[in-house]
Structure 1
């Protein structure tokens, strides 16, 4: 069961050379975390192993984003995205996440690797209003349709920008902040 943590307005930042690494089984249960993950999120290894990776999900992250993540992984594709995570003490940290399916020698899914690094500030600033609108849509939707409805908004937004989600994520990561 996910612990109840009250978010606070305190951002923790990764340094430019830090990477958060974790592995999960196919159902999202954590099987490995590196020291950077533990120190950033504020959890000991024992509190993370065997738990759902969403233990660090911040309530500012729309469910539609995670529906897209799982839909992408189910298609055996890599997922890239900007994610706001929740620390054990209520602080938060943003990451640019890359999640990749992991297969054994026989081609059977063993789980997922996730490598996260410090995102560019302009990428976060681009995603915040999109995520806020998705959350607004989710709050107005019934529970069953909330994630799909906010994902529909995201897809409409991407169409209006004439881009795809992966292209937007990667282009935000490659673009220098405008002065």
Structure 2
């Protein structure tokens, strides 16, 4: 299969993977994959040569609403390290959910030269109860009325809970509940061991 021109057909089956693994990748400022660790490669189903030099959206699942990636890129282009829950698609078409922590890679002058992504599995109950229904609704809004409409919905959804997207994710991970209680900040960051931004 020519991965440069052909996308796999999505499957309703999940990738069978060791969810203790940490999936790592490095991209340039345009999202082109420069490096992926062995676990990232194994779970994606691609060979290393099929990934390196390709846009990161080679593993994007069509179930993902575009507004989540808009939020992602708006944040990292503003020099903000963020974390996002993402549904990815392997070469076989199977899916896998991950919590991804994106960190900025800067040169000695402070200029952004790339991004480093650290991924871990998402608790299944969090996905089924909260994330999947939200993302499906955002996707349906996008299909009917465009991304601006889905962005407005997401803003209203988060305003109702008095949280940012990242605070909302932190709260789900910490409590397993979707309510308006104050988020316990910092709990999500403990899922990731790596703290220093890699340098070019």
Whether TM exceeds 0.5 here: the answer is: yes
Bigger Cα displacement from structure 2, 155-164 vs 25-34: 155-164
Question: Does residue 1:127 correspond to 2:131, yes or no?
Answer: yes
In structure 2, the CA distance between the partners of 1:93 and 1:23, relative to structure 1 (3 Å rule), is: same
Match of residue 83 from structure 1: 86
Match of residue 152 from structure 1: 152
Aligned-residue offset at 1:71: 0.7
Q: Is the 8 A contact 1:5 1:88 kept in 2?
A: yes
In the TM superposition, 1:10-89 aligns within 5 A as 10-89=13-92
Aligned-residue offset at 1:20: 0.4
Quote the Cα distance in structure 1 between the aligned partners of 2:94 and 2:29: 28
Structure 1, unaligned stretches of length 5 or more?
none
Aligned-residue offset at 1:100: 1.1
Q: Is the 8 A contact 2:126 2:176 kept in 1?
A: no
What number of residue pairs does the alignment pair up? 174
SS class of match (1:95): strand
Match of residue 141 from structure 2: 137
Quote the Cα distance in structure 1 between the aligned partners of 2:176 and 2:168: 14
Match of residue 100 from structure 1: 103
Quote the Cα distance in structure 1 between the aligned partners of 2:144 and 2:5: 24
SS class of match (1:117): strand
Superposed CA deviations along residues 111-135 of structure 1, whole A, max 9, x for unmatched, are: 0000000111222121111101111
Quote the Cα distance in structure 2 between the aligned partners of 1:101 and 1:26: 9
Higher relative contact order (CA 8 A, sep 6+): 1
Question: Does residue 1:175 correspond to 2:178, yes or no?
Answer: no
Bigger Cα displacement from structure 2, 89-98 vs 157-166: 157-166
Quote the Cα distance in structure 2 between the aligned partners of 1:51 and 1:5: 15
**Structure 1 segments of 4+ aligned residues over 6 angstroms from their partners:** none
Structure 2, unaligned stretches of length 5 or more?
178-200
Q: TM-score, normalised by structure 1?
A: 0.91
Aligned-residue offset at 1:169: 1.3
Quote the Cα distance in structure 2 between the aligned partners of 1:163 and 1:109: 27
